[in-house]
Structure 1
Amino acid sequence: MIPMAERIKQAHPGTKVYVTDKFGDWSSLAPMWHQIQEIGEDLMNIAAAHPEGINLIGYSQGGLIARGILEQFPNHTVHTFISLSSPQAGQYGTKFLHLFFPGLVCHTAYELFYSSIGQHISVGNYWNDPHHQSLYRSYSRFLPYVNNEVLSSQSNSYKDGITRLRKLVLIGGPDDGVITPWQSSQFGYFDENEEVMEMRDRKVYVLDKFGLKTLDKKRRLTLIEVNGVSHLDWHTNETVIDKYIIPFLK
């Protein structure tokens, strides 16, 4: 993320930009709640140093961690949150997982991820199998909770953390190649027939489970679809940074 940080500094001279190096490489497999708590505490310290408010950018799994932080720390001072090619509605694709789990395939991955062992793996926390939704809601300790698909004592604060935003920007595209379906980056997802339901057709939006509809109705939600960008290029693509990220960082 350092090249993006430098590009932002060039466009907005004098802006303080922070990049976290926590949970890189293999440690990115740590449970989502653990990552959210540690990085979230760092973010709150940064926010305390900037009481005028801050902007937050999360790329790939980092974007989902960032959303979790906003919900876990609902009194945050984040003005704009930019989610860059992140599996916000979950993941149902194994291409990027073969580095860690060479034999993993979609239709049986739930056997690993919807287990006590699987829930100690970050990807297992947001694995969303459209064919095993009851297991997803029963075993997943993260995604159905932050989506308020499973209610908890923190459900109201989760929604408060999202609706506090002045702007939520969701960026993704059909040539991503990793986030599956790519529409997950904009809260769209597969139905039981593996047909993609767009965000505004899904229950989490219609029932305003955690604030998407509220933001949308207040014109605080922006969806950006970009063609021709692969997953590993979003955060270094200068066109994406200059055209779709920097303009929101005011």
Structure 2
Amino acid sequence: MILPTAKWPRYGALAGRPCLGVAITEPMPGFLFTGKDSMIEPQYLPVVIWHGRYETCCTGDVADLQNFINTTLPGIYTHSIMLGNNEYEDGLLSVNANMNEQVDCVCKQLKDNENLRNGFNAVGISQGGLFLRAYVERCNDPPVHNLITLGSPQAGASYVPFCGNEICKPQYPEQHIYLYSDEVRFRYVSAQWFKDPENIDTYLEKNIFLPDINNEYKKKNATYAKNLSSLNKFVMIQFTNDSVIIPKESAWFWFYDKDYNLIPIREQEIYHEDWIGLKKLDELGNLVFKETVGDHLEYTLEYFKTEVLDPYLK
């Protein structure tokens, strides 16, 4: 569910408290549990879901998707990631948080969940797909089998809407000045996947999250490529009319050069030098590019069943 922007302050009182509610080993609201039999003789790998910005673990479209998976695959264990002590705090933390701290917390949350100890499939919704990839690269314990991302800004976004493009764009014509400021870059989640094509040096210096998980620094982290390339499948779904993730092709790791020419992933250094394992996945046939007609996250449960659930979650 996309919640109205007016409900969410730009900076929340939860800043600096990222690990609330993560040591959860028992079922709770949003962590649907289908019965003891699924723990003893699981028919399917569990599924972990990480929701997007202005969403929560347990309401709206996220809850509908989780319930659909549970209903379609009887006996499956599903876990919708929640940060904070309740759904309201979880929603706040989807907007106002330091994502390095959040990913660390989720690494602990998933490792502490005995139902996931043998691994799981992961479904990331919008920015949740970017953060689940960070989980794979940095932790992957327990390991992810198939990673499916829906409209995720894998290569970043050149423009971040605050309250709608037409309202906010005139307000911040030079977004990098605002989004890379110390006041914002450590706390506003979207600033941590913002990438200004005209100011790459500033992006590398100021962005606290995306340059690291995309291994864009001169000193590479070999663990990131090793972990990501261990996936059975990495499925990336792009929305053809996406007006939230700009460019929409970022869902496939495509991005602009400094002149705003769109560069496909296979023509970038991150691929040729295999900074995070994409090339190895591709050569093994395990890198999957999908697209569906619609704006950001406009998809049907029937599409999800045909393109995601049947081939990758069963």
Q: Same fold (TM over 0.5)?
A: yes
Q: 1:12 aligns with which of 57, 73, 87?
A: 73
Residue 41 in 1 paired to residue 102 in 2? Answer: no
SS of residue paired to 1:6? helix
Counterpart code for 1:30 = A
SS of residue paired to 1:55? strand
Residue 135 in 1 paired to residue 225 in 2? Answer: no
Residue 58 in 1 paired to residue 124 in 2? Answer: yes
Higher relative contact order (CA 8 A, sep 6+): 1
Residue 239 in 1 paired to residue 306 in 2? Answer: no
TM-score (norm 2): 0.72
Q: 1:217 aligns with which of 274, 277, 283?
A: 283
Q: Distance in 2 between matches of 1:57 and 1:170?
A: 10
Shift of 1:104: 4.9
Number of aligned positions between the proteins: 244
Describe the superposition over 1:50-71 as per-residue Cα deviations: whole angstroms up to 9, x where unpaired: 3432101110111111111111
Q: Distance in 2 between matches of 1:131 and 1:240?
A: 37
Counterpart for residue 150 of structure 2: 84
Aligned-pair Cα RMSD in Å = 2.2
Q: Distance in 2 between matches of 1:134 and 1:50?
A: 40
Residue 98 in 1 paired to residue 159 in 2? Answer: no
Shift of 1:14: 0.8
Gaps of 5+ in 1: none
Paired residues of 2:98 and 2:189 also in contact (CA < 8 A): yes
Counterpart for residue 191 of structure 1: 257
Counterpart code for 1:143 = L
Gaps of 5+ in 2: 1-61, 84-88
Q: Distance in 2 between matches of 1:35 and 1:17?
A: 20
Describe the superposition over 1:36-87 as per-residue Cα deviations: whole angstroms up to 9, x where unpaired: 11222112223x4334321011101111111111112044411011111111
Describe the superposition over 1:161-213 as per-residue Cα deviations: whole angstroms up to 9, x where unpaired: 21121111001122121111000011111111212111111111111110000
Counterpart for residue 269 of structure 2: 203
Higher CA-based Rg: 2
Counterpart code for 2:308 = I
Shift of 1:107: 4.6
Q: Distance in 2 between matches of 1:156 and 1:200?
A: 20
Further displaced range: 132-141 or 106-115:
106-115
Q: Distance in 2 between matches of 1:107 and 1:189?
A: 20
Q: Judging changes above 3 Å, is the alpha-carbon distance between structure 1 residues 157 and 73 closer, same or farther for their aligned structure 2 residues?
A: same
Paired residues of 1:145 and 1:151 also in contact (CA < 8 A): no
TM-score (norm 1): 0.89
Shift of 1:240: 2.6
